[in-house]
A = this chain, B = another copy of it.
């Protein structure tokens, strides 16, 4: 909201009144003469009532800016995918290998994962790799393996569409179509994914602002996606102690202020297995609707990202610990 002040207003008093209501005043502009003061404020978790603010002594006008992403703003905090509520009473787990390695491999994993309460089978068929000479994934074949493994185990499939050309096939196979970090502002892909009409898991770009992320969500919804779920996986930081810089403030903001469903990927966020549990727990406490976790029966033999994969045999206790963290949050 934009709160404009009367020429003779006591600006300090008005600011205090706003702060007293818990409003987050993000920008203040004053004129040299002191005759005009403009406050620009973002809404609190508990939306403020413009009529109430207009009654504050010294306030001339309260206006609500037009939302830049009306479809995202209207969506709400729960998106249902294949009967599973994301953002509901139970946390959602999306687990699987970084790369899908063979049909047998993913069939076996899915059986184990389903028993642990994992609802989404994740896995890379087409891998975005920084180098053209790195393993690029098993492609279309791997998509078929995932679908059959998920069906056999009663799971859903989430996987990434790497290019416009693959969207129709990916959308046919996947229950939830993922857009990766490097493609968050690949607008041709966002439009193609939207047109497929499926729900979308939209990973945040490495240096994307919250506003750009929400607008990318608006792209997929305005082109036909049936829902959008945001996924924080770490942004670019200046310290190489962790692979990326996990921004849980953004998660809290999307969940508690914008009231949108967010999944967190602590595997990429930390890049190291030993921090997946504490950061996963922290993510759920901040408001995440679920987690995307890379796992592998034998991380030492994984085709990619072994150091961040949780050994499959340890995943059960990890998820049961994390389930407790979510339950605590859900009470709020």
Residues on A lying within 8 angstroms of B by beta carbon are 2, 4, 15-27, 29-36, 38, 40, 42, 44-46, 61, 63-69, 128-133, 162-166, 182-183, 185-189, 192, 205-207, 209-212, 215, 218-219, 222-223, 234-242, 244-250, 252-253, 255-257, 269-275, 277-279, 281-287, 298-302, 306-307, 321, 324-325, 328-329, 332
Contact: A282 with B245, CB < 8 Å? no
27 A–B pairs (Cβ distance < 8 Å), ordered by A: A2-B38, A19-B307, A21-B300, A22-B273, A26-B240, A32-B64, A42-B241, A45-B274, A69-B131, A128-B185, A130-B212, A132-B223, A163-B164, A165-B188, A166-B188, A186-B186, A206-B207, A207-B238, A209-B241, A236-B238, A246-B247, A253-B275, A278-B285, A281-B286, A282-B286, A285-B325, A328-B328
User: Which B residues are in CB contact (< 8 Å) with A239?
Assistant: 209-211, 250
CA–CA, A32 and B270, complex, Å: 27
Contact: A270 with B282, CB < 8 Å? no
| Interface secondary structure of A, over-half rule | mixed
Q: Nearest Cβ distance between residue A330 and chain B, in whole angstroms?
A: 12
Contact: A274 with B247, CB < 8 Å? no
Contact: A301 with B248, CB < 8 Å? no
Say how many copies of this protein the assembly contains. 4
CA–CA, A253 and B271, complex, Å: 12
User: Which B residues are in CB contact (< 8 Å) with A128?
Assistant: 185, 187
CA–CA, A183 and B185, complex, Å: 7
Contact: A299 with B164, CB < 8 Å? no
Contact: A131 with B68, CB < 8 Å? yes
Q: Nearest Cβ distance between residue A145 and chain B, in whole angstroms?
A: 21
User: Which B residues are in CB contact (< 8 Å) with A192?
Assistant: 163
CA–CA, A272 and B42, complex, Å: 11
CA–CA, A182 and B182, complex, Å: 8
Cβ contact of A306, chosen from B16, B34, B234, cutoff 8 A: B16
CA–CA, A103 and B324, complex, Å: 43
User: Which B residues are in CB contact (< 8 Å) with A19?
Assistant: 299-300, 302, 306-307
Given A66-B30, A299-B20, A328-B324, A270-B252 contact (CB < 8 Å): yes
CA–CA, A32 and B43, complex, Å: 14
User: Which B residues are in CB contact (< 8 Å) with A325?
Assistant: 285, 328
Contact: B241 with A253, CB < 8 Å? yes
User: Which B residues are in CB contact (< 8 Å) with A24?
Assistant: 271-274, 307
